Amino acid sequence: MRAVLIPQPGDASVLTIGDVPDPVPGPREVRIRVVAAGLNGADLSQRRGFYPPPAGAPDWPGLEVSGVIDSVGPEVTEWEAGDRVCALLPGGGYAELVSVDAGLVLPVPDSVDLVEAAGLPEVAATVWSNVFDLGSLRPGESLLVHGGSSGIGSMAIQLAHANGSPVIATAGSARKTEFCRELGADAAVDYTVDDFVAAALAFTDGRGVDVVLDIVGGSYIARDLEALATGGRIMSIAVRERTPASVDLGVLMSKRARLQGTTLRARPLGERAAIIAAVREHVWPLLESGLVKPVIDSVFPLEDASQAHRRMESSAHLGKILLQVG
């Protein structure tokens, strides 16, 4: 089968199409004939040599796909060939076929386009596990989302809005802040012009926000703490600023606040399967009803993976970028 390979670390130009062996599903796995794969920041980090795949995962990138099951392992009872699905992967999604544990698979509702479904598993799992599970965002509590126009941000805005939680989002242009409002954000801040701390405090009448979803790291963490309410939670899920974060522990303690960092890809299989089960229970009904939708910026052919990565690195995108495979 064809797959997008990374012969050596580098910029987007290093990506190349090559042939790799077809995967064979294990006893508890299904094999999916891929229709589309979603791009994620982790793919860019892997390409640059900063984020190697976990043990046992394919060497090529791709953390989520959509497609049709073409075979199942002998111990799989909940899925069968022909099912329309999407799946969370530890890697290997930029390919024509993937094998994945049955517990990491989600059904694609008839109302959702199969290509667009490739943009759902990673963002839904990340947002649900961080904002609602670990972050414990309750109805009426406020959420600050950094990168609100990104794939993660667009899902966080929609889910928090559906949860009855006021949302303030940051983004890097007037067009992006308007996009965040269209998705359901109650307020949006252009961080190139305005201070998000002042905006968050004004948004909450000086109280501060209850949960921050941070995809930047670095200098943002201390400022997140300034914007946080007493008893608030900062969920740090990515590091775009490579400078070390510095936190005033006195402020952290006085606010009785929590700063938690998480990743998803390298968690034990059981933890990832539990997150997918929670997504199916809590997020999928919103998807089926149309209250939450995949937000797609653009779709590139598999052969144009380099161009898709450049699009993501430009930060011009609104929502998810996909690779169409089948």
For Cα atoms 230, 234, 235, give the angle at the middle one, nearest 5 degrees.
155
For the packed helices 305-314 and 41-48, what is the interaxial angle rounded to 10 degrees?
Answer: 110
Residue 10 has which token pair?
């580098």
Q: What distances in angstroms separate CA 297 from CA 10, 84, 98, 154, one per listed residue?
A: 24, 22, 24, 11
Give me the sign of the Cα torsion angle 18, 23, 29, 32: positive
Residues 147-172 have a mean pLDDT of 97
CATH architecture of 2-120+265-324: Alpha-Beta Complex (3.90)
Percent of the chain predicted with pLDDT > 70: 100
**pLDDT band, residue 266 (cuts 50/70/90):** confident
Rg (CA), the chain: 19
User: What pLDDT, on the 0 to 100 scale, is given for residue 244?
Assistant: 84
Check whether 242 has a pLDDT greater than 90. no
pLDDT tens-digit profile of 79-116? 999 999 999 999 999 999 999 999 999 999 999 999 99
- Listed as own residue / partner, the contacts of 138-142 with beta carbons closer than 8 Å and 24 or more positions apart are 138/165, 138/210, 139/163, 139/164, 139/165, 140/164, 140/165, 140/166, 141/165, 141/210, 141/211, 142/166, 142/167, 142/168, 142/203, 142/204, 142/209, 142/210, 142/211, 142/229
The domain limits of the chain are 2-120+265-324, 124-261
Tokens 């400078």 appear where? 243
Residue 141 has which token pair?
């509590």
Question: How would you class 281 by CB atoms within 10 Å of its CB: exposed for 0-12, middle for 13-18, buried for 19 or more?
Answer: exposed
Question: What is the CATH code for 124-261?
Answer: 3.40.50.720
Check whether 133 has a pLDDT greater than 90. yes
**pLDDT band, residue 160 (cuts 50/70/90):** very high
- Closest of 109, 97, 102, 108 to residue 79, by C-alpha: 102
